[in-house]
Chains A and B, each alone.
Chain A
Amino acid sequence: MLRKSYFWLLFLASSLLSEEAYGGNPPNFVVMLMDDLGWGDLGCFGEPGRETPQLDRMAREGVLVPAMYASAPLCSPSRAALLTGRLPVRNGFYSDNDLGRNAYTPQDIVGGIADEETLLSELLQQAGYVSAVVGKWHLGHQEKFLPLQHGFDSYFGSPNCHFGPYDDVTTPNIAVFRDNKMVGRYYEKEFDFPGHVSNYTRLLTEEATSFIRARAADAKPFFLFWTPDSTHAPTYADVQYVGKSGRGRYGSAVQDLDAGVGAILDELDRNGLSNNTLVVFSSDNGAALVSKTQGGSNGPLLCGKQTTFEGGMRVPGIFWWPGTIPAGTTTDQVWTHMDFLPTFLELAGVALPQNLTLDGLPLSNTLLHPELHISRSVFLYRGNLLMAVRDGPYKLHLWTWATPPHLLEIDDDFCPGQRQPNVTTYNQVNHTDNPILYDVVADPAERYQISNTSSVYKTVVPQLLALVEQHVNNLQLAEPQLNWCDDAVMHWAPPGCEELGRCLTPPPSAPHLCYWDH
């Protein structure tokens, strides 16, 4: 009943697809993935100040996706899911040290993306694409985990969050890499951020535009993964945006990114590539509401980063491909980042490896034909715990957990001003026997629970629970990669530090189980 079958339309569209547009040239792909940018942070998503003219233009010329879901409410697992097309529990980007905790790749993490995982970059590389990561990687910082070992041809940026500055004694500053070699550290010399001012986003933009120019010159299809981190705390912006935003320091960072987006789109235009390039803009998770006035906005949505409520998982989504996808449209299609991999392969005419289990769906038809709508389920995890499922207009919470008490005590609130009894719970609460149901189409803010005595509830909940059962039964858990921590693996002496004369001495190795506190 929930699922309407659109397969005949899908078939029709697929047959059109092969004859449409490409004339034999595989399309290029640009994924712009922001850091902690919220659903409500862009003008085209209703941010009151409307300070993102380039992104608003991108939306006017492309397709706006109000129902784009990240695959985890935190950076590393979200990014790993995007690049593998698989949920973190399937690709190993989780921890089972404790139940349902958000884990990521801080400096002392031992793990990273497993060799067995097949990344979008690897599949495209096999098909002759040239791929680059420009910005934050966050899939592990030891050499074997870096992008060049996982299908990318070049890399400029940092593998970690830009926390700091550190003293280089108890903790080293995060390294910035070019390809497999460190070229500096955050907060030091060329990558310093005095007073939250830095040209780093501009550097990342210039890296991206020169990569595009190089591909225009060698006429090779490309995949650019542009991942600036300036909207993650501590936020920073180029000097020309300081004091220019009504939204303070965070707004300046958004303006800086907006200009970068504009520069990249312009570069595609200048090189005659925009008609053959699909550009996607999104964010790794919802806005970090713990940053208060220095952070982003999730608009009307409930809670933020770290949670599986809409504010943690629903993120901005814009697709842009002039001449191929219709301009100025808004799609009702529910997307996840995990759909990028199969969708891109479909557009590139590359076959999926046969034994690869994906959580994403190929959805290119819904981009080319916005009237199409493909039914699908979205499973929302916090760590190794399946918290909620969305299918059709409904979202069912099996478990709830907002902010743990020890963080509330220090005024770090994932759901400020949004106290819903039995929903924004301070502890993990298992609702499986009496799950909480919302209609997130009519009620995207998850304000109004559908009563468990209503006929809708009685009809829908068993159907959703059946989907959950099916999902759980078919899920093959990967070996967790984020269980172990060790101070010795920090950025003491990354490859390349010798040439710079900036190697630090690591402490003796002392592996221990990581503590994930939320």
Chain B
Amino acid sequence: MSLLHLLMVSLCFSRLVVLSVELKQYKEKENMSNGSVSLTVSDERKNFISYNLEVESNDKAQRRSNNSVYPNVVLFLVDDLGYGDLGISGHPTSRSPAIDRLASQSKIFTHFYVTSPVCSPSRASLLTGRYQVRSGIYPGALGADNPRGLPLNETTIAEILKKKGYRTLIVGKWHLGVGYEGEYLPAHHGFDDYLGVPYSHDMCPCYACFPDKPCEGGCSTSHVSCPLFSNTTIIEQPMQLQSLTGKLVDKAKQFLKDSAQDDAPFFLYMPFMHVHHPQFSSEEFSGKSARGIFGDALLELDHSIDTILQTLDTFDLADNTVVWFLSDNGPSLRRHEGGGCAGALRCGKGTAWEGGVRVPAFVRWPGHIGPSRTGELLSSLEVLPTIAALTGADTSGLKLDGFDASDFLLDKTSESPREYFAVYPMDPSQETGPHAVVYRHLKAHFFTIGDLLSDDQNYDEICTSRHLLTEHNPPLLYDLSVDPGERWNVANDTSFKISLIEMTAWRQAHMVDMTWMPSVTNDHDKYSEPCCTDHYCEPFPSCCDCPLK
């Protein structure tokens, strides 16, 4: 017993030493790269913006302070929405009229990736413009009892915009950590205010998803009830799913109204709880769609987005607001009809196949961006540097993996700044690196692994958890332009030989260049779970529920 104990302590100690060495290396590397990749607003951009100011009507220009010449930003992030789930993306049964209308006014990216096939890592990359392995947000997602979160030295979109004088609000699912004392909550990552649930609503007990139906499929019953945070305070535990969307939307509406009245620039980040399992909706949408519970949840999401867009119109903000829509990863196929649809793409959530990481995405800025469509390669890593360029926010000193795609969005160039993209698996390791590399329309899989999230009953065996980690040499190569479903391996086609060599070389260089922050997602401590009462109360976890008023 004591020997085992000793062994464990020494193991932990050696792990700590390794950790600190890695951290030191990480910091050194970060410093080395400072400045070399700094992104600033080009003179051309300034001219462009000032030109656009001049052509605006005088009274409108007069109403704006110097700060608000830059556009406001609304970022809609949908949870687990598949490539084939929207009306515009060709779902036979889905109806999403407001999102479809927004898309039709936007520049639609048909070849857009997120950096991870699961929530937390994808969100870390979206908000920082950096691969998740740099911030330690891997493997998998942060659980309810995980005491850690997005490292505080990471810089988010909210932080750079806040420095620029923007008001910043997040409503919805944060999923980048809470901490023992709320130290990883949005308040510590650049957000002025927050209303929402800090992780997935199946990581806590779920009771009433629809007025007349129970929740379909299970939720965790071993953790505290879902907490609803107002900034850093829990105001509801258990959080009520059916009334949640209304509260989130009302909060966002009030924020838009206040910002308009004060003529203040703003950043509204709306990471929806929809359409993650378990599906839910208020009475207004329950049973209203042909597609069942997923369709009902999608209708509520669609209505939320419609309300926000209408609010932008009401307060005359739409013309000066960049609206970016995307999903955090592919559909949770294991939920069957209760999960999403990847359309023609292979597999879904949890895998590096197209269904896991290629998502619907589009951007609208009336008069500047869209309506149009592009098949050029882009990723969620581009969101931070591109928004920074459009808003004149400062990114100097940041080591970014994303590119400033503002010229591309503004149609000043027809080519995306991104040529290559690394696809990391759900559970990345330094040894295997990115499992796949995308080069323009080609995708090479160097490793494949299936996952339960893509359904063990999937008719495509390679998507299931029975498909264990497999190395491919030569890699599996797919020409996505003619084969978006990754069905026909063309690695033996000699016309792709040079591209394949280049992709292999790029991946090696990428792996050498990458800095790995040790994982933060594997720690568990029940005393870190959000608790309305007292972490040490009894009987845990039900004692954490807020006392009835």
Contacts and interface: CB of A to CB of B under 8 A. Distances in A.
A270 interface: no
B266 to A, nearest CB: 32
Given A45-B90, A418-B459, A447-B459, A246 B375 contact: yes
Nearest to B84: A300
* 3 nearest CB pairs, A to B: A46-B90, A293-B482, A444-B92
A442 B342 contact: no
Interface stretch (B55-63, B250-258, B483-491): B483-491
A314 B92 contact: yes
Contacts of B108: 50
Contacts of B93: 66, 441-442, 444
Given A40-B344, A46-B84, A417-B346, A443 B336 contact: yes
Given A47-B90, A292-B487, A293-B483, A300 B337 contact: no
Given A297-B344, A442-B291, A46 B89 contact: yes
Contact of B336 (A48, A300, A447): A447
Given A416-B487, A443-B337, A300 B344 contact: yes
Given A300-B341, A300-B342, A48 B92 contact: no
A432 B337 CA distance: 25
B interface majority secondary structure: loop
B525 interface: no
B56 to A, nearest CB: 30
Given A40-B90, A46-B88, A330 B95 contact: yes
A261 to B, nearest CB: 18
Q: Which of B92, B95, B490 has the most CB of A within 10 A?
A: B92
B461 interface: yes
Contacts of A248: 481-482
B91 interface: yes
B87 interface: yes
Contacts of A440: 92
Interface string A302-319: 000000000000100000
Given A292-B488, A293-B488, A417-B460, A46 B337 contact: no
21 contacts: A40-B343, A48-B111, A48-B344, A50-B373, A67-B92, A247-B481, A292-B483, A292-B487, A292-B488, A297-B484, A300-B341, A300-B342, A332-B290, A416-B488, A419-B460, A441-B93, A442-B93, A442-B294, A442-B337, A444-B93, A448-B337
A165 interface: no
B110 interface: yes
A420 B472 CA distance: 25
A445 B457 CA distance: 14
B510 to A, nearest CB: 25
B80 interface: no
Given A418-B460, A420-B459, 5 more contacts: A49-B110, A293-B488, A441-B292, A444-B91, A444-B92
Contacts of A50: 108, 110, 373
Contacts of B375: 48-49, 246
B145 interface: no
Nearest to A66: B92
Interface in A401-447: 416-420, 424, 439-445, 447
Interface in B367-416: 373, 375
Contact of B484 (A48, A393, A443): A48
Given A393-B290, A419-B459, A441-B290, A299 B481 contact: no
Interface in A341-394: 393
A58 to B, nearest CB: 15
Contacts of A44: 90
Contacts of B490: 293
A447 B460 CA distance: 11
B349 to A, nearest CB: 15
B292 A442 contact: yes
Contacts of A393: 290
Contact of B110 (A48, A250, A418, A419): A48
Interface in B68-115: 83-84, 87-93, 95, 108, 110-111
A260 interface: no
Nearest to A446: B459
A251 interface: yes
Contacts of B83: 48
A501 to B, nearest CB: 42
Interface string A321-332: 000000000101
Nearest to A424: B459
B162 interface: no
A293 B110 contact: no
Nearest to A445: B341
A439 B336 CA distance: 12
B378 to A, nearest CB: 13
B482 A251 contact: yes
B479 interface: yes
A448 B481 contact: no
B115 to A, nearest CB: 20
B459 A300 contact: no
Contacts of A67: 92
A45 B94 CA distance: 12
Contacts of A46: 84, 88-91, 343-344
A251 B479 CA distance: 14
